[in-house]
Amino acid sequence: PVSIEYAPSKRSPTVVAHRGASGHAPENTLVALDTAHELGAEAVEVDVQRTRDGVLVLVHDTTLERTTDVEDVFPDRSPYNVGDFTMAEIRELDAGSWFDSSFEGEEVPTFAEALDRMEKLDLDLFLEVKSPELYPGVEKEIAAEFGGRDGWLKDGSSRGTPRLVVQSFDWESVRRSKELMPSVPHALLGRVPESRIPDFTWAQMINPNHTTIDSAYVERVHDAGLEIMPYTINERSRMDAVLKWRVDGFITDFPEIGLKAVAAQ
Ligand code: G3P
Ligand code: CA
């Protein structure tokens, strides 16, 4: 296994604000990053995809209708795939009103804009490469964006936490990304079967859905020298439970609840 400075037990568990603080603000927007920071989060998770004209953007679903007003703006463009729209078209969309009218006018940010904001706020990043099978070569484009910036390709932040973790449900994509950015910790999303964990020690983390694991699974991941940060935990009682299992962190829509749970340990 790759040895990492921020190994389990050397630091307190990381609370990662899911899609920004998506319990309080529209997911995957700049205001969701701002809100995460205001609530005390030191790390955020976001999802990246690619527009038709090759711009990396933050969107979770592979289509635009749940989190924008695309059906009103472009009524004839169903099925609204992210990859069928140019960045200029996506700029016309409102990505805030669906969540609450007070967020009207919030835009879908480019990946570069989101990184600028994270740099300004000193937020660590768990970057999910969403549906990479739809965007051939996306891992290279992501690596190029980080390569053009200071700090992201070192193996940790000044807090001793990972500055950047790249993760995906597509484990082949994670492997490609790891080869491009070997100094960056990478995570497999989903539950790697216990018998296969030893095959994945080139990665640094396994981040499964919290409903699919138990304390023995956490132990197996740690035994293999990997970390584990399950998603998406919004109930304080469940946070307390996984913290007892000694998870290395967890992903939540409500970072303020997560931070309280960690502080109470
Ligand atoms: O970070 C993991 C988590 O975000 C995966 O689930 O559907 O929210 O992208 P999803
Ligand atoms: Ca995600």
ipTM of the complex: 0.99
Pocket flag, ligand 1, residue 250 (CB < 6 Å): no
State which of 169, 189, 233 you would mutate to test the pocket of ligand 1, scoring each by most atoms of that ligand within 8 A of its C-beta.
189
The pLDDT assigned to 3 comes to 45
CA distances from 85 to 5, 106, 125 (A): 41, 18, 26
At 131-159, the pLDDT tens digits run 999 999 999 999 999 999 999 998 788 88
- Regions in the chain scoring below 50 on pLDDT: 1-7, 9
The pLDDT assigned to 6 comes to 41
The pLDDT assigned to 135 comes to 98
Given a contact cutoff of 8 angstroms between Cβ atoms, the answer to whether 14 and 248 are in contact is: yes
Q: Is 108 helix (H, G, I), strand (E, B) or coil?
A: coil
Pocket flag, ligand 1, residue 61 (CB < 6 Å): no
Given a contact cutoff of 8 angstroms between Cβ atoms, the answer to whether 116 and 126 are in contact is: no
The pLDDT assigned to 10 comes to 63
Identify the CATH number of the domain defined by range 14-263.
3.20.20.190
Cα of 234 to ligand 2 centre, how many Å? 15
Tell me whether residue 57 is exposed, middle or buried, using C-beta atoms within 10 angstroms of its C-beta: 0 to 12, 13 to 18, 19 or more: buried
Query: What positions carry a catalytic annotation?
Result: 18, 60
Cα of 26 to ligand 1 centre, how many Å? 15
Pocket flag, ligand 1, residue 253 (CB < 6 Å): no
State which of 22, 46, 47, 213 you would mutate to test the pocket of ligand 1, scoring each by most atoms of that ligand within 8 A of its C-beta.
47
pTM over 0.80: yes
Residue ranges in 148-254 assigned as alpha helix (H) = 171-180, 215-223, 236-244
